[in-house]
């Protein structure tokens, strides 16, 4: 392939569509899950995949067991946690349409910086910012930097902290201290994402990034915070299509153990 | 957001060269594994890496134990499963040169949407599309959406389904149902990627994404479908250079157990 | 790096800011961790995240237990190993300011091609190249392709090779041979990254990519090569903020076992 002169906006638009890692102005990329241009592009390479998307993935959203609102929160959390920016704007728009509030999306990004790494949260900012601008989301629609925190369950937190401190206090005092002060006495108490949703977002990040070994604690916490067994099972079904089957099959035994332990 | 006029092709070209995550018109990015521009760029930062690439990675392709065609299929599957788009066009071209058919690449993308997540498959579309366009691949060269399916091994499938259902039917009925109806009674029976190759692509995805815990089943299935022990071992050697040593060393004990169990 | 006039700098800047996966000339992307533009962008979506970044992440760098130079090496290794290119230039510049030498960064890239996969190393090249160009790094500042190698500890290497060969020689002779000839009798003996730093970079790659099962060997090797327990613990604290809490909590039990085994 030779250097070509790209004189025009058309070429740039095509480029953006091609790179598949951008968040931008082109239609094919703004509406990857449904627009004609996006479906055509998939069809040109993998007609069967385009058909599966239409017949299986889109119908997934109509299943009972998990509300549209929860499916949207799960899917957006998956995209952020996995560093997948190409379809993020589309699903953030859908999430807003499905009743997820801007302050909840904002708070999910903040939460996932700690639970899926700073770079993944940072990468999600432009795609979300463009949707917020389009929807005219105002500063006052976003969480305060220092809101009144939810009240701390001191006994549960003492038990958690004692456990981590006795296990790892000698290994990494910094981690133990920050887990306590930054995460469990601050981040988790921020009010703009309900504890149940914060836990759900965490569970999604763990499944997406293949960290089943951390699921036991966080799924238990999610269920303490109100996530039902049916919702947990249907979250896995949603993630099978988005994060892939192997991630979900690695999570299933852990989820089963957590459900059994609570019977 | 509206289209804006970008008048400077130089700036855009430079950007594309810099981003390293695109599939586009620049030479350095079209032929990353061999072009002068690509080698020069690596050499400017890491001369030793450029030398290793020339002396070790390229010679890897001349080893016995795995055909060029299989090495290409393995490498393309690795790139798709890992969401690595920058060198995808180069290796898709090489795969076609090595005898992988367009319909096989198309089917591998569809398969990997389920085995490495929708976003990774989606990200691979533009790079493959551009090669297909260059090579004048026609619609008729691609798999049908609804082909005649391969015949189902009803006993093996009943055993698999019984196992998954008894284990996880109460945890996530949706996953159990979709695993049966979408994957094993549909996707796996699609004829345009042979079961042995479909299994090989699956094994590669599991190694690339660090899911050794799912390897036992799928490597056994791959060998049932005709993959030899030598090919399995040499696939790991190929992946050591592309996916990195730790992924392969995490897979080795599982592969060893599978090989031993079949002796 | 200075602002350069690109005929439509605004448009290109917007694009670059949007894509979130580039390495380029724009300020927002050049100084993601501190520039006004970058902080503003985060603040527009997640004001709390911007505040956490300022109050927690930036203060992390002032903690005792790990030098600025080591924190920079750890952070750059994390970014390369994770395929995170958006903030790479910023942290490579910081690393150079903190005393990491260009030849050490070059050698870390080469090393990480083998320990986190070729594609991640390749993706890091453009961002590092741009910083090297700015800083006027010369060819003579980079490692030789074939330097005089460090002397091999023949007993330790024989023990390692015997172990791998007896375990996996029948499974993948190619991997066993390349592990010996390419990695431990060549790459690891290259002099421009000290064995302690080479091990530290390896440990970071394993934590970032969730490969705790490979940590026992490499953390032990790192400590044999001079990494202290305090530095190991503080490396985890650094990575908690950059790679996310779950990665670090999966590593903690392994690190604890290694530390205990050496008491």
ipTM value greater than 0.95: no
Q: Do the beta carbons of residue C216 and residue C177 sit within 8 Å?
A: no
Measured CA angle at B7 (ends B2, B12), to 5 deg: 90
Stretches in chain B below the pLDDT threshold 70: 1-35
Of B11, B47, B86, the CB nearest to C145: B47
A40 or C17: whose pLDDT is higher?
A40
Give C142-146's long-range contacts (Cβ < 8 A, gap of 24+): C142/B45, C142/B46, C142/B47, C142/C102, C142/C103, C142/C106, C143/B46, C143/B47, C143/B48, C143/C103, C143/C106, C143/C107, C143/C110, C143/C190, C143/C191, C143/C192, C144/B47, C144/B48, C145/B47, C145/B48, C145/B50, C145/B51, C146/B51
Contact A143 C48 (CB under 8 A): yes
How close does chain C come to A64, measured CA to CA in Å? Answer: 31
pLDDT in tens, A98-129: 999 999 999 999 999 999 999 999 999 999 99
The whole-number pLDDT of residue A48 equals 97
Retrieve residue C92's tokens.
């490579």
The whole-number pLDDT of residue C35 equals 61
What are the average pLDDT values for consecutive 10-residue runs of chain C, which has 263 residues?
Answer: 30 31 35 63 96 91 96 98 96 98 98 98 97 97 98 96 98 98 98 98 98 96 97 98 98 98 93
Instruction: Show Cβ contacts of residue B7 under 8 Å, excluding neighbours closer than 6 positions.
Output: C7, C8
pTM score, two decimals?
Answer: 0.89
The whole-number pLDDT of residue B38 equals 77
The whole-number pLDDT of residue A11 equals 29
The whole-number pLDDT of residue B21 equals 34
Q: B179: which chain A residues are within 8 Å (Cβ-Cβ)? A: 240, 245
Of B18, B32, B210, the CB nearest to C211: B210
User: In chain B, how long is the greatest CA-to-CA distance?
Assistant: 65
Average pLDDT over residues A43-57: 94
The whole-number pLDDT of residue C33 equals 52
Contact A17 B213 (CB under 8 A): no
Contact C45 A128 (CB under 8 A): yes
How close does chain C come to A43, measured CA to CA in Å? Answer: 24
Retrieve residue B160's tokens.
């698999």
> CA of C172: which chain B residue's CA is closest?
B233
- Please give the share of chain A, as a percent, with pLDDT higher than 90: 83
Contact C24 B8 (CB under 8 A): no
């Amino acid at each position: 392939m030779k250097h070509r002169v790209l004189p025009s906006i058309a070429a740039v638009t095509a480029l953006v569509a091609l790179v598949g890692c951008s968040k931008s102005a082109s239609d094919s990329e703004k509406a990857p899950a449904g627009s004609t241009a996006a479906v055509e592009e998939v069809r040109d390479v993998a007609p069967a995949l385009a058909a599966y998307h239409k017949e299986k993935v889109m119908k997934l959203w109509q299943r009972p067991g998990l509300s549209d609102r929860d499916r949207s929160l799960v899917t957006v959390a998956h995209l952020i946690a996995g560093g997948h920016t190409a379809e993020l704007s589309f699903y953030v728009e859908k999430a807003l349409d499905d009743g997820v509030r801007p302050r909840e999306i904002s708070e999910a990004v903040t939460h996932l910086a700690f639970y899926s790494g700073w770079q993944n949260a940072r990468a999600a900012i432009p795609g979300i910012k463009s949707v917020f601008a389009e929807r005219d989301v105002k500063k006052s629609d976003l969480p305060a930097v220092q809101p009144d925190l939810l009240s701390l369950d001191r006994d549960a937190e003492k038990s958690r902290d004692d456990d981590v401190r006795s296990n790892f206090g000698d290994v990494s005092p910094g981690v133990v201290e920050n887990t306590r002060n930054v995460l469990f006495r601050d981040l988790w108490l921020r009010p703009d994402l309900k504890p149940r949703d914060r836990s759900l977002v965490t569970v999604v990040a763990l499944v997406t990034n293949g960290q089943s070994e951390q699921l036991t604690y966080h799924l238990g916490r999610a269920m303490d915070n109100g996530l039902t067994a049916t919702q947990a099972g249907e979250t896995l079904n949603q993630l099978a299509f988005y994060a892939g089957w192997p991630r979900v099959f690695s999570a299933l035994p852990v989820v089963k153990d957590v459900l059994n332990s609570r019977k």
